[in-house]
């Protein structure tokens, strides 16, 4: 079959053994991409490892006539992230797109959140985005400097929790907010090398969301078309953006931007500052409510 959106492209997806990552892998394969399917095989809370999930997705892709290889490394380590990129290059000779998706949750109210729960969630979501991106970007920079054309794509996975906050998910929300900032920096720094970076905030029923949002019925497969398009050359010119995707709804998110402003030629007292702030808040847009807030 010819004319598919990602024919000939090599795509690496982290956390691709289940849920959203699995759906993305199958969707990319259906559009002709060759895959490196990464998954540590950890439990919902990040405990344990298993090669089964990644191997199962690879088998499913191959059974449908596609090309894929598994990778079981921990992408929140430099060795795991570098071997992920190396696997793509050694297997297929190139790398065209990176989809960062790996993660788990350990939900607690803020006062009950243990330091280990904070560290583990921030590590997998934020460091687990940074390290694969760093190693992939180093490869693309080398390619660009060598005069070889690069049309690379990075799709990072953020969350509504990172955009608005989510009660009981301080660690997860903070990490996902960090993913947005990381995406914006990557888009700015890597554009000169032919790399585009965007983030997607998906809403879909997976094992990670089914207990938090019991009424959520949107499927991971509903999000994948956006991710595939962003990972393809067809998305040329789209970078530094954040999208929400749920079922048939697509939204371009518009983040922090200057609102009402007050200036003074002299230093204000604390009381004068408070009065100025009150006036600004009176004419500003109210913040959207945090997920789960009463």
The catalytically annotated residue of 159, 224, 232, 235 is 159
Model confidence band, residue 247 (pLDDT cutoffs 50, 70, 90)? confident
Which positions ≥6 away from 233 have C-beta within 8 Å? 9, 151
The catalytically annotated residue of 83, 127, 166, 176 is 176
Q: What CATH number does the domain located at 10-252 have?
A: 3.40.50.720
Q: Mark whether 193 is an active-site residue.
A: no
pTM comes to 0.91
pLDDT in tens, 115-145: 999 999 999 999 999 999 999 999 999 999 9
For 179-192, what is the mean pLDDT? 98
Res 1: pLDDT: 43
For 243-257, what is the mean pLDDT? 91
**pLDDT value at 2 more than 80:** no
- Of 71 and 247, the structure prediction assigns the larger pLDDT to 71
- Of 194 and 2, the structure prediction assigns the larger pLDDT to 194
Q: Mark whether 172 is an active-site residue.
A: yes
């Amino acid at each position: 079959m010819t004319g598919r959106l990602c024919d000939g492209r090599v795509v690496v997806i982290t956390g691709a053994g289940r849920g959203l990552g699995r759906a993305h892998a199958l969707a990319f394969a259906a559009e002709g991409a060759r895959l490196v399917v990464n998954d540590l095989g950890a439990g919902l809370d990040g405990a344990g490892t298993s090669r089964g999930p990644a191997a199962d997705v690879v088998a499913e892709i191959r059974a449908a006539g596609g090309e894929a290889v598994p990778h079981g490394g921990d992408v929140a380590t430099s060795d795991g992230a570098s071997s992920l990129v190396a696997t793509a290059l050694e297997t297929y000779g190139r790398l065209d797109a990176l989809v960062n998706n790996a993660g788990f949750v350990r939900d607690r109210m803020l006062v009950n959140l243990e330091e280990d729960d904070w560290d583990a969630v921030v590590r997998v979501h934020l460091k687990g985005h940074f390290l694969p991106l760093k190693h992939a970007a180093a490869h693309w920079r080398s390619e660009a400097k060598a005069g070889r054309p690069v049309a690379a794509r990075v799709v990072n996975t953020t969350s509504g929790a990172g955009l608005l906050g989510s009660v009981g998910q301080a660690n997860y929300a903070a990490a996902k907010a960090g993913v947005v900032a990381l995406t914006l920096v990557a888009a700015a720094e890597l554009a000169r090398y032919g790399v585009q970076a965007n983030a997607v905030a998906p809403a879909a029923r997976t094992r990670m969301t089914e207990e938090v949002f019991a009424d959520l019925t949107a499927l991971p497969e509903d999000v994948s078309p956006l991710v595939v398009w962003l990972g393809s050359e067809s998305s040329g010119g789209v970078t530094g953006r954040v999208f929400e995707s749920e079922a048939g709804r697509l939204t371009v998110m518009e983040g922090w931007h200057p609102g009402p402003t007050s200036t003074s030629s002299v230093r204000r007292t604390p009381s004068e500052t408070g009065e100025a702030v009150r006036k600004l808040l009176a004419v500003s847009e109210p913040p959207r409510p945090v997920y789960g807030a009463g």
